[in-house]
Structure 1
Amino acid sequence: MSDKPSPGRKAIDAPGLPKPGFAPKFSSPGILAGGWLFCSGTMPTDFESPVDSVGFTDPEALYRPASYDNARLRQQSHATLQRLAKIFEAAGANIKTDPIRIEQFFRSDHPTQQDFDTTRDTWAKGISISPYLETRNEYIDEARPPSVGFGVTDLPIPGVDLQVDLIGSPGVKKERFEVPGGVASPLAGYAPAIRFGDWVKLAGEVPTDWQGDWMSEKHMGEPRATDPRTRPNEYLWYGDEMAEQVNLTLEKQAAIAEVAGSSIERCVNATVYIGHPADFSSMDAVWKKWFPKNPPARTVIPYSGLGGKGWRFEVTMDLLTNDSNLEPVTIKTDKAPTPFGHEPQAVKVGNFLFFSTLRAVNSQGVLSTSTPPGFERYVDQGAAQMRAILAQIEAISAAAGTSLANLCRLKVFMDGWNMLAPAAQELAHAFPIDPPAVSMHRVNGSPMIAPGCHILGDAISYVP
């Protein structure tokens, strides 16, 4: 159980905001700390009926993909963004001007476990998110925050097609930057980079020229949306397509960071989305070349549904400006496991502590909550793995001069919804006062890189 949070960390509630009264309170609508507002994952539900503000009477409409009915996704988008606007208002912020990062999760029938296992396909095909983007533009002004989109086969509530995670900064004065010459520009209307104060935030970048093989009579193997420079000759033994995708994407991020007054070496936190866990080693090898010393905090999320055919990598980044006086501090403690791959346990910058991938594994990457064969029914892995993750957060926080109670945001990724209820119970027990902003997501496959691992955490804490 955590102590009381520091005075600089404040839980935000909003009048009239629907809450799940049937479940333990494991999450706050928002947390304001260090000048940033962290919102919980927000969906278009009143927690009484599965989907509110939509008006469909046909029960089967709940399970029809949103792409078949643009009006439905548009209405769900309005309901979701209206809730987020209330959280911003309660924190003294404005959703039109103050968002600094947005993450969206869309329901899609693909990719499936079979897609990952047979073809390494990460494409969340069969949906259009244009109705959401048009609705988003009504709520958030032109200097829109860096964005990332993620396809999932379902969300915590059946029939919900959309969940949005949003970070803001009340009264922020931000500057938008476009991609430099020679870098293909994204199509969804978000900022490739924004700069404010000491910070530069980069949108999710992917290995594409935003054209691929579309309308082309020449194909380099299977038609797809990847940049031709990432495609090795399929008729030869040589080449590593995953490595090429990672390298090109990091080249693009480096160029965008430079335009925004930073450099990729100033990256302090990154979230990486990959497909099949078998791609991890190729990704990590390229990552080491780009960050040979003092790598940023990094969370790696497998079985990701990405927005283009053939993409196997996406990354978002938080960087310091070149003229910032803040100094990143790598956090290390022997009271928490050594991370798997080229990432530290955490990085402290100013009032924030960015954690790397949190999982219930030991320093050898072996599940720490396992039981002897035949005794699996005696341990609830959802509860046990969440307890292990919270223990890691507590140990790393102590090493950084803060505490578990100052956790601001926790994104929980799991490989099955049977993990949600026990994980939520553990969070409610650990945070009797002002729990963090929490998002719950199910990835599109299993296991979570380590055998037996069902839960993965991505966290940010406040350092007083």
Structure 2
Amino acid sequence: MSSARTVHHVPGADFPAWYPSSSVVTAGPFAFSASMSAVDFERGGVVPEAKPLPGLPYSSGHPVKLQVRETYRRLEAALTQAGSSLEGGVSINQWQPSYHGEVERHEPLRDAYDLFWEDWRRVAHAYIQSRDEFLLADRPASCLMPIDRLVSPEQHIEVQLVSLLDDSGITKRAYAHDVHSPLGGYSVGVEAGPWVFSAGFIATDFESGLHPNARVPQHIWYGNQVAQETEETLRQVRVTMEAAGAHWSDVVKVVLYLTPEGIRNMPAVEEVWAAQWPENPPARAVVPCSGIGGVKHGNVEIYVIVARSSEGGERDVVHTDRALAPLGHSVQAMRSGPLLFLSTQLGRDENGLSAQAVALRDGLPQARRHIHDQVRRIHEDVAAICEAAGTSIDQTVKVDAFLSDFVDLSTFFEAWADPFTDGLPASGFFEVPPRSHEIPACDISVDLVVAVPEGR
């Protein structure tokens, strides 16, 4: 099993020079795909074969399914060249936009469900039907998240996959559990050697909406729904992971998706978090999202990666005083074998958005220099954490970047690629609700996975 980081550029599934992503990056036993779509990077929009004919919009193909098929064609091409496959998928993320070019973006206090729930349902249902043409059995653990925008206003979906390499020597096992019985046909967990990847769990019983454990009285001042959703979701994840032979203390990385309402209740979430992991918490990425697509009026979705100690999995906390302390009850990073999982990275200082970035935003708003300042600070912290873990920032394999306004996307692209001298990571770029990062004043948050060279 090779653990060396390798960057792959795949014709037909690659990106132009201005778009800072590789098609797929391999490290350890895994291939990490970029966030793939049907975007036409030469002419704009999506490629002609991924959309109905303009004159026959209702009789020349389903607009969502056409995009899904082109997206999976690119995913399959990228993974095959990297020595992997769709069948080897262990974890899949799918991103669904709320806003398209003709729709005005609203402030985060607006109820996104009232505006977009039926559109989310329409797209998600068609996506799942078409996904099942490609992922036939033992489907990967899955998250399907609404966000504000994708890079093209014509997009309906974007997909990224973590898949086992064909020569990894590891056999995956997908499984189900009656504590969480999703209607979408995905696996609630996938075992791959010592690692277990959970699906994105939500606090639902898949029958009546929010699970009874996650509901609070609607007509009296009692209870915090976001906190109860978090607690119920973590309960379901824990039961499922322990059924796979994992211990709660084996969790190396958690991704916590929160709506704007969830972000506003972050102090209550932190109390639940500290009770779940009183000591040695995992690395944690907090990802803002427009909504929770699996349950109406939900605010929380969570997935975890576990390294089972009983199967030889490693879980080593990484800390350095040269980088900022993590936000909340978390750690800077967690190393597990050939991979380093970082907590949320923001362009901040110890007191929030840096004074320099604030001054640049106020004094030179059109120059977007505050974006450069935030990117530089993210680079500096990531580089310090990587060095403490025995690796370097240019060994990054996967990046998800979340911007609060896509007006900053081109500026971000200009600044982001600088430290990746050994090839760009596989990446995805997403617009999230305004002022919905862990630090509301920040414009960018980033989630990263980094390869650790063998012998380090």
The structure-2 alpha-carbon separation of the partners of 1:71 and 1:364, relative to structure 1 and needing over 3 Å to count, comes to: same
Residue by residue over 1:65-99, the C-alpha shift from the partner in whole angstroms, topping out at 9 and shown as x without a partner, is: xxx9981100000000000000111011121x111
The residue that corresponds to 2:34 in the other structure is 40
2:128 to 100, 120, 133: 133
TM-superposed CA distance for 1:384, in Å, is 2.1
What is the RMSD computed on CA atoms of the aligned residues? 2.6
CA contact (8 A) 1:206 1:249 kept: yes
1:193-220 CA-to-partner distances (Å, cap 9, x unmatched) read: 01121111100000111122xxxxxxxx
- 1:216 aligned residue: none
What is the CA distance between 1:266 and its match in structure 2?
A: 1.4
Aligned equivalents of 1:329, 1:210: Cα separation in 2: 36
Aligned equivalent of 1:427, options 416, 432, 441:
416
1-structure distance, mates of 2:115, 2:316: 37
Within 5 A, what are the aligned runs for 1:403-414?
403-414=392-403
Q: 1:93 and 2:77 equivalent?
A: no
Alignment of 1:168-317 (within 5 A): 168-171=163-166, 172-180=170-178, 183-212=179-208, 225-276=209-260, 277-307=263-293, 308-317=295-304
CA distance in 2, matches of 1:368, 1:124: 37
Structure 1 residues 265, 412: closer, same or farther in 2, change over 3 A? same
Which SS does the other structure have where 1:125 is aligned? helix
Match for 1:362: what amino acid?
A: D
Q: Secondary structure at the match of 1:370?
A: helix
Once the two structures are superposed, what CA deviation does each residue of 1:334-375 show, in whole Å capped at 9, x if it has no partner? 111112111111011111100001001122334364243841
Q: Identify the residue that residue 454 of structure 1 maps to in structure 2.
A: 443
- Please state how far the C-alpha of 1:305 moved relative to its aligned partner: 2.2
1:163 to 155, 158, 164: 158
SS in 2 for 1:142: coil
CA contact (8 A) 1:335 1:395 kept: yes
Contact 1:30 1:87 in 2 (8 A): yes
**Aligned amino acid, residue 6 of structure 2:** K
After TM superposition, the structure 1 stretch with the greater mean CA deviation from structure 2, 258-267 or 387-396, is 258-267
Deviation, 1:322, is 4.6
Per the alignment, do residues 369 and 178 of structure 1 end up closer, same or farther by CA in structure 2, a change over 3 Å counting? farther
Report the Cα distance in structure 1 between the residues aligned to 2:173 and 2:427, rounded to whole angstroms: 28
Verify the 8 A CA contact 1:123 1:309 in the aligned structure 2. Answer: no
Residue identity opposite 2:419 in structure 1: A
Asked if 1 retains the 8 angstrom alpha-carbon contact of 2:286 and 2:438, the reply is: no
| Letter of the structure 1 residue corresponding to residue 117 of structure 2 | K
Aligned letter for 1:130?
A: H
Q: Is the 8 A contact 1:202 1:257 kept in 2?
A: yes
Contact 1:268 1:347 in 2 (8 A): yes
* 1:13 aligned partner: 9
Residues of 1 paired with 2:111 and 2:253: CA distance?
30
Q: Deviations over 1:108-139 (max 9, x none)?
A: 34999757415586995122212211221221
Q: 1:194 to 1:422 in 2, by over 3 A?
A: same
Tell me whether 294-303 or 122-131 shows the greater mean CA deviation.
122-131
Partner of 1:215: none
Give the partner amino acid of 1:88: L
Shift of 1:228: 2.2
Code of the residue aligned with 2:412 in structure 1: it is A
Native 8 Å contact 1:122 1:312 kept in 2: no
CA contact (8 A) 2:283 2:331 kept: yes
CA contact (8 A) 1:205 1:315 kept: yes
Aligned residues of 2:107 and 2:433 also touching (Cα < 8 A): no
CA contact (8 A) 2:98 2:116 kept: yes
Bigger CA drift: 279-288 or 45-54?
A: 45-54
Gaps of 5+ in 1: 1-5, 213-224
Q: What SS does structure 2 have at the residue aligned with 1:138?
A: coil
CA positional deviation for 1:41: 1.0
TM value normalised by structure 1:
0.88
Cα 1:450/1:82, change in 2 over 3 Å: same
Is 1:437 equivalent to 2:437 in the alignment? no
Equivalent residues of 1:108, 1:126 under 8 A apart: no
Q: Do residues 346 (structure 1) and 340 (structure 2) align?
A: no
How far apart in 2 are the matches of 1:243 and 1:452? Answer: 23
Corresponding pairs, count: 437
Give CA-to-partner distance per residue, 1:368-399, whole Å, 9 cap, x none: 64243841335523322122111111010001
CA distance in 2, matches of 1:109, 1:19: 23
Out of 349, 360, 364, the position equivalent to 1:376 is: 364
**Contact kept? 2:357, 2:373, Cα under 8 Å:** no
CA contact (8 A) 1:152 1:442 kept: yes
Aligned partner of 2:390: which letter? Answer: G
- C-alpha distance in 1 between matches for 2:114 and 2:343: 23
Kindly provide the CA deviation profile for residues 287-326 of structure 1, in whole angstroms up to 9, marking residues without a partner as x: 1100111101000012432112111100010002251223
TM normalised by structure 2 equals 0.89
Partner residue, 2:94: 104
Instruction: Tell me the SS of whatever aligns to 2:387.
Output: helix
In the alignment, is the contact (CA less than 8 A) between 1:246 and 1:286 conserved in 2?
yes
